[in-house]
Structure 1
Amino acid sequence: MKTPLIRPLGLLVACAILFPVSMGCDDESSEDNSNQNNTPDAGEACPTPTSGPTIHSGEITADEVWTHDTGPHLITDNLSIQAKVTVEPCVRVEIAPAVRVNVEEKGALIAEADAERPILFTAQEASPWGHIHVSDPGVARFRHVTLENGGANGTTYSGATLVVTANDKRPLKTPVRVENVTVQGSVGLGVLMRGLSGFSEGSTGLTVAGSGASSEFSYPVRMAPEAASTLPEGTYTNNAVDAIDLFAVPQDVQANVTWPARGVPYRIDENIVITGGGHLQVAAGVTLSLGEGVSLIVEGLGAGELETQGTSALPVVVERADPKLAWGSLRVEQGSQMRLAHTKLRGGGADPVTWSGCSLVASGPNDLPLDPMLGVTDVTVSESAGYGVCLYGAAAFRPDAQGLEVTGAGAQSHEADFKGLRHPVLIGASALGTLPEGEYTGNARDAIHVDSHLGVVGEVTVRDVGVPYDIGGDGHLVVGSDELSGTLTLEPNVALLFEQGMSLDVDINGVLDAQGTSSAPVVFGSAAEIPSAGDWIGIYFWGPPVTESTLDNVRIEHAGADCSCVGFSCHSEVYDEFAAVLILDWLPSQAFITNSSFVSIAGHGVNRGWTSDKVPPDFTVTNTFTDVALCAQTLPKPETGQCPETLPCP
């Protein structure tokens, strides 16, 4: 409802008594107040009004046009817009303290001007006004408009000057368009987008400044994660906290969404789940500021995808909101994909129990075949509380993965909850061939941690990535099986270091191809901080194999732990059969270990644990044995006759 005020000369005194100077009873005082309230300078394009002011309050149920000549327009009590209100260029709207303007479901507020004739919504007094609240399917259009000094609405609307509300049912609603709009001086948030509400197509040039000066709600904009793709280009600095707050219901992404770079971080304080086939793209130059324990999760059941699109000049950054508190992880689950390009992950890994303190997690199937679900291109993971990158189960890197750097992993490994979580990468044995070349140094433990429980199936080539591989798991790293073939190829300078009590088992359908060089041997050794003889069991070769293995220029050290094997060779009658290499129940065609060294072995060097009358291959011809506790090689059992009474130690 509007009430025009006629201002004949004889009533100027009465006008001054009835209305404060800020209401514009006379031209001079109105101009002064305009400057005081930072009104855009309209210059000569906006002449002095002659027929105002006009008062508005209550309900508007029929279309209205608010003209400049009848201004200023004074909203003295809460206003409910249930029809179309058009605000013309040059109009100044002054709103009383804590008063709200509600654009209802059938309403429309159209305030469209130009740079020379802007529109201003401002406080009528020193105290802030409430807000403009647009409730979908009501609409609002703002062009060359300033909304200033609002937000007196308490915690319900978080001190925002512009509030937009839609329900949380998809699809996304976009009831508000802004073009060259400024929201400044809000008590709390500048703009609050509730539910699944966003800015409409064509929105651009939004400036939000001075938000949160006197409130706990300190961001320029708060909106749902799925709505962030509608955030206009603009300026979001000079607020109490310069970040876009992605905190609203629903807290998931089920559509194709791009988070654009807008010059300030996105603040995330609750987990965001990409599900239902959703595809979240994070544009180049975006920074995600995550709260304590917060994760971005690509849910497996929904076949979703998370993609970062950084560049070398404009990387995507994921960092701590609080420098002292680790965020959770970027996590992709079975059946979904994650592809990261030119991305820096800093200070994640808050969960030591479920996700081993990892910042980047791929949770794959429990059984083979491999699921290549994690893509990385020039990605850096730094200062993880525990591991840097974890690939669980049959998770693997995508074939095009390259340029992974992990440093500072195990940042909290000195704490009881994170004890032992200190490697740059945790990965399954069958996925080792997918590990990209990169940099894996500067961590609490500079080694790739290999989970052995699924074994090696298929063709797996382990490359030299500059650090060794620590082999852990359920006691045995098995290559092949009775039914499935597996080939483990180790390139020169690769070192497999086995945790206490572990062994490498080459099954009948397995092949171990380890061919180093004299200057870059392949090493099989101990993962202990201070290695010693007998730290791990050794290498089993079960047979007869389909294809014999080849070991050339390798170094086997600190093996010879209890293998619980008895009765395979003649030496079992005198000695334990512990050995660095155990060839059990088959006769090799030749000595398939050549030009190699056995060092610091608690048992025998090679246990020739077969039964045959044929001349056995001799493993001492080209190999060296240093600090071997028992024999360099044992004597096989004869097929006929008995073992000699005096056993040589050849």
Structure 2
Amino acid sequence: MNTLVLPASLALVTLALAACDPAELPDGAPAGACPAPRGPTVHSGDRIADDETWTAEGSPHIVESFVEITEAARLTVEPCAEVQFAENAGIGVAYIGEGQEGALIAEGTEERPIRLAGKDGARWVGVLVQAPGTATLRHVTIEGASGDSPDGEASLVIHGDMTMPVKKPVLVDHVTIKDSISHGVEVNRMAGFADGSTELVVTGSGLEQPAYPLVVSEHALDSIPTGQYTGNARDEIRVIDEGAGRAASGIQTDATVRDRGVPYIIGSSEGATLIVGGTLDGSVAKLTIEPGVVLRFVRGASLSVELFSTEDPATGVLHAVGTPDKPIVFTSAEESPAAGDWMGIWFGSVFQPENRIEHARIEYAGSETHSILLTCNEPGIHEGGVILTTPPPSQFIQHTTFAHITGHGVHRGWRGPSAPDFADTNTFEDLTGCAVSTPPDEDLYCPEPPPTCP
């Protein structure tokens, strides 16, 4: 990569310090303070193929084009360094071609942070990392990026390789992403944040369009760091269903949806499906939802705990246990919500006894399931807030409110015993069907006359 350090005479402050040792600090500077910058240093190439360091003294570093870190090269950005990007410039890590490697190491400290921003307010692209490339970002601010690239629409884009297990190529630690033209962070293609990621602040996203602090696939849900995700055009975490409708593509390992202070909006388009389970080896994936989490589903979307209904044990488990003060809410993402906006929670295959829904609220569900389920009720409604295709061993839904639902509250779509009932310890409001539907017996016979809904 071509690098040019301009003469010190171009900057008065640099001229005054020209006789100093490069590592010398300004007079009176406290220990650990940033050294006086001696740049600018201009980086005009488009590829880094050998290890390179951008120093604090060389700041500001001016990047004139989109720079690709490749061929296992390592770009180290020193604490205190400032990097300024020209229009449409940015940094890509292992982003061109399959199997490339590279690393971006930008490790500042609380007293000596690193800043990446547009030069004179230029609309720069941002930082894009493609596994197996990696990035370690500590005490870094990424400011004013446009996210305008063919492979992402965020200031920080993190891509996996579309294979399991989930790749986690980027560690963030006290990173601030601010004033993005579009989204703050995008994590997809079966990627996640690296273990140990913490204190991510995303604010000011969506300067020119409705945008979110985070846009992630379901595979990144478990890795979303602690931090702050408010002050954006849309203060929600958008979840893209990469595994919709495909076996071995949804949530395949245990994962937790944590309360990060903003709702999650589920689905990228109408009819989206957030799948738990579907593993090919029969292992069980458990999705845990913390108290206080709000999940908002786009029109026609669903949460499927095992997508398909077979005679085999389900490979998905849902553990959604809130508290009286912090219930878990499953609701509609529509601006004016109404009954039937989203499908509901579907349990397929032979029920796993570890499933639990407690202290929750399920509302505005009941859109078409596009399935014919067993029922003795008239009319033959096949929709509901929770849809069961096999009998559970216990009344796993407790202290939960079902409200504004097209169809039944709990649709017991099996044949056989009518227990468990679910009516005693749950609340049902504004349903077009029954609180709990009535299944036929093992011989598919129903009571006469057919039961009606209260």
Q: Which of 202, 213, 218 is residue 424 of structure 1 equivalent to?
A: 213
The counterpart of 1:257, out of the listed 40, 46, 52, is 52
Distance 1:265 1:543, change over 3 A: same
Q: Give the partner amino acid of 2:56.
A: A
Q: Which residues of 2 match residues 273-288 of structure 1 at below 5 A?
A: 273-288=68-83
Q: Which residue of 1 aligns with 2:253?
A: 458
One-letter amino acid matched to 2:235: D
> What is the rounded CA distance, in whole Å, between the counterparts of 1:350 and 1:463 in structure 2?
26
Q: Shift of the alpha carbon at 1:336?
A: 1.0
Q: Find the aligned partners of 1:376 and 1:433 in 2 and give their Cα distance.
A: 15
Instruction: Report which structure shows greater RCO (CA 8 Å, sep ≥6).
Output: 2
- Structure 1 CA distance for aligned equivalents of residues 177 and 338 of structure 2: 33
Contact 1:509 1:545 in 2 (8 A): no
Q: How does 1:122-137 map to 2 (within 5 A)?
A: none
Report deviation, 1:353: 5.2
**Once the two structures are superposed, what CA deviation does each residue of 1:195-236 show, in whole Å capped at 9, x if it has no partner?**
xxxxxxxx9559xxxxxxxxxxxxxxxxxxxxxxxxxx8764
Amino acid at match of 2:394: Q
Question: What are the superposed Cα offsets for residues 121-141 of structure 1, whole Å, 9 maximum, x if unpaired?
Answer: xxxxxxxxxxxxxxxxxxxxx
Distance 1:525 1:333 in 2: 34
Aligned: 1:504 with 2:310: no
Alignment equivalent of 1:346, drawn from 127, 143, 147: 143
Output the CA distance in 2 between the equivalents of 1:243 and 1:234: 12
AA in 2 matched with 1:259: W
Distance, in Å, in 1 between the alignment partners of 2:74 and 2:7 is 31
Distance, in Å, in 2 between the alignment partners of 1:600 and 1:457 is 32
| Residue in structure 2 matched with residue 562 of structure 1 by the alignment | 368
* Identity between Structure 1 and Structure 2 (%): 33
Larger radius of gyration: 1
Q: Aligned-pair distance for 1:183?
A: 5.5
1:290 equivalenced with 2:85 (yes/no): yes
Which residue among 231, 235, 251 is the counterpart of 1:442? 231
- 1:552 CA drift (Å): 0.7
Counterpart position of 1:382: 178
Instruction: Please report how far the alpha carbon of residue 526 of structure 1 lies from its aligned counterpart in structure 2 after TM superposition.
Output: 1.2
Opposite residue 521 of structure 1, the aligned amino acid is P
SS of the residue corresponding to residue 221 of structure 2 reads helix
CA separation of 1:638 and 1:185: change in aligned 2, threshold 3 A:
closer
TM-score with structure 2 setting the length: 0.86
Maintained 8 Å contact 1:522/1:555: yes
* Amino acid paired to 1:377: D
- CA 1:404–1:234: 2 relative to 1, 3 Å: closer
CA distance in 2, matches of 1:185, 1:306: 30
TM-score (norm 1): 0.61
Q: Which residues of 2 match residues 463-482 of structure 1 at below 5 A?
A: 463-473=258-268, 475-481=272-278
The structure 1 residue matched to 2:409, chosen from 605, 609, 613, is 605
1:639 aligned to 417, 442, 450, which one? 442
Task: Please tell me the residue identity of whatever aligns with 2:346.
Answer: Y
Quote how far apart the aligned CAs of 1:184 are. 3.5
2:152 corresponds in structure 1 to 355
Aligned length: 416
- Consecutive unaligned residues in structure 1, runs of 5 or more: 1-167, 191-202, 207-232, 237-241, 414-419
Residues 134-533 of structure 1 correspond to what in structure 2 (within 5 A)?
A: 184=9, 236=38, 243-247=40-44, 250-262=45-57, 264-299=59-94, 301-323=99-121, 325-351=122-148, 354-356=151-153, 358-413=154-209, 422-454=211-243, 455-473=250-268, 475-481=272-278, 483=280, 484=282, 485-507=284-306, 508-533=314-339
Residue 578 (1) aligns with residue 383 (2): yes
Question: Displacement, 1:549?
Answer: 0.8
SS at match of 1:285: coil
Residues 60 and 83 in structure 2, CA contact (< 8 A), matched pair in contact too: yes
Which whole-Å CA distance do the structure 1 matches of 2:374 and 2:223 have between them?
A: 38
C-alpha deviations, 1:310-350, integer Å up to 9, x for none?
11122111111132x42102111121111100001111134
* Aligned mate of 1:623, from 426, 440, 452: 426
CA distance in 1, matches of 2:129, 2:279: 32
Unaligned runs of 5+ in 2: 24-34, 244-249, 307-313
Out of 378-387 and 313-322, give the one that drifted further.
313-322
2:232 aligned counterpart, secondary structure: coil
